[in-house]
Amino acid sequence: MFPGMDKRAMEAAMRKLGVQQQPIDAKEVVIKLKGSDSEIVIANPSVTKVSMMGQETFQVAGEQSERKTLQSQQQLFSDDDVKTVVDQTGASEAEAKAALAKVNGDLAAAILLFGEKRG
């Protein structure tokens, strides 16, 4: 954090100032963006909760990606599309929805995904 300051000295200075750090065992961090149908996803994150002077902040580091929100994915296909994939493949509704989301609502591509799994 500060050049030339060793870790022990830094920790002592932080204790003196009342700064407390607590690691958080997180699987994934999702940041939902205002006014957008996207969200930022941090996979395999390193998350630290920092408490200082009555305020809590979080430091997050990890593999960043962006994805469409589930709500916007569901707008890509209808209930009829889901039913068609279920009827054609024998998949469950959840599997059909996941396949349609993966291929951005492309009905034929979703059905082909199940054909690839069988073959």
The average confidence (pLDDT) of the chain is 86
Residue 56 lies in a domain: yes
Mean pLDDT of 17-41: 90
The fraction of the chain above a pLDDT of 90, given in percent, is 45
User: Does 5 reside within a domain?
Assistant: no
Residues 86 and 56 in one domain: no
Do 41 and 81 have their domain in common? no
pLDDT score, position 87: 94
Query: What CATH number does residue 99 fall under?
Result: 1.10.8
Q: Give the number of domains in the chain.
A: 2
Helices (H), the chain: 7-16, 70-74, 79-89, 93-102, 107-118
CATH of the domain at 45: 2.20.70.30
Q: Are residues 21 and 64 in the same domain?
A: yes
Q: Is the pLDDT of residue 119 over 60?
A: no
Q: What is the dihedral of CA 49, 51, 56, 61, to 10 degrees?
A: -30
In this structure, the number of other CB atoms found within 10 A of the CB of residue 10 comes to: 12
Domain that holds residue 33: 17-68
